[in-house]
Amino acid sequence: MTEWKARRFWKAATLRDTGAGYEVLLDDKPLRTPGKLPLILPTEAMARAIAEEWDAQTDVIDPNSMPLTRAANSAIEKVAPQFNAVADMLGEYGGTDLLCYRASEPDALIRMQAKDWDPLIDWAATHLRAPLQITHGVIPVAQDPAALQQLRDRIGALDAFGLTALHDLVTLPGSLLLGLAVLQGRLTADQAFALSRLDEEYQASRWGRDEEADDAARNRQQAMQSAERFWHLSRRG
């Protein structure tokens, strides 16, 4: 049986200011989420970018080519209704942050991690007021609850669209500090991605590359790039 695929039915995607935000119209029909909720967007810039995703569709609609639309749907349908649960989940990354767990060998990797990760540990202590302890190996290190609360408070200050962006910027590299650094403008998504892969790149330099692993890594990097763009588009003013 041939799989049914949604096809383009509209001539043009346009914008409309609703007063509460912006919506995208396919001809005269406003977009809704898959669950039929109104797709009200926080900024004109985000609405315009999402309209461009829809205008770029040809005969058959390809959801994979519309990451901003998918993220907006998630913000409205999934993140907003369970905001505190999502924020708590991301906050837990602070207790086991990638940047706090260092290699115990070889010396070259230890030095590389110290050189590239220590500045972010220092930045968290001074700028985020969240000093975190580092350890070598996999034995858990207990973090100061007050520091973790500082990080959780920053997460909680976001709106649903910002939290949606932060989700991928944290879960994909495995680091709350890297995700917050992108939101704060301390790093780009590409820089955060590279910092999260120090161990993998060191091993690849010694033992050779794995094509399948590299493909998966590129997909994660692209998802982080999209999340960074979603974050910037969601900002008012």
Pairs from 193-199 (Cβ < 8 Å, separation ≥ 24): 193/220, 193/221, 193/224, 195/99, 195/116, 195/117, 195/120, 196/98, 196/172, 198/109, 198/112, 198/113, 198/116, 198/117, 199/103, 199/109, 199/113
Same domain, residue pair 132 and 204: yes
Same domain, residue pair 5 and 107: no
Give the pLDDT confidence of 158-179 residue by residue, as tens digits: 999 999 999 999 999 999 999 9
pLDDT for the residue numbered 8? 64
Integer Cα distance of 42 and 40 in angstroms: 7
SS3 label, residue 33: coil
pLDDT for the residue numbered 86? 98
Please report the beta strands in 163-226, taking only residues with DSSP state E, as ranges in sequence order.
Answer: none
Looking at this protein, which amino acid is placed at residue 121? I
Question: Does the structure show a pLDDT above 60 at 2?
Answer: no
Asked whether residue 75 is domain-assigned, the answer is no
Mean pLDDT of all residues in 33-46: 96
Number of structural domains (the chain) is: 2
Same domain, residue pair 130 and 220: yes
Q: What is the pTM of this model?
A: 0.92
Give the pLDDT confidence of 80-114 residue by residue, as tens digits: 999 999 999 999 999 999 999 999 999 999 999 99
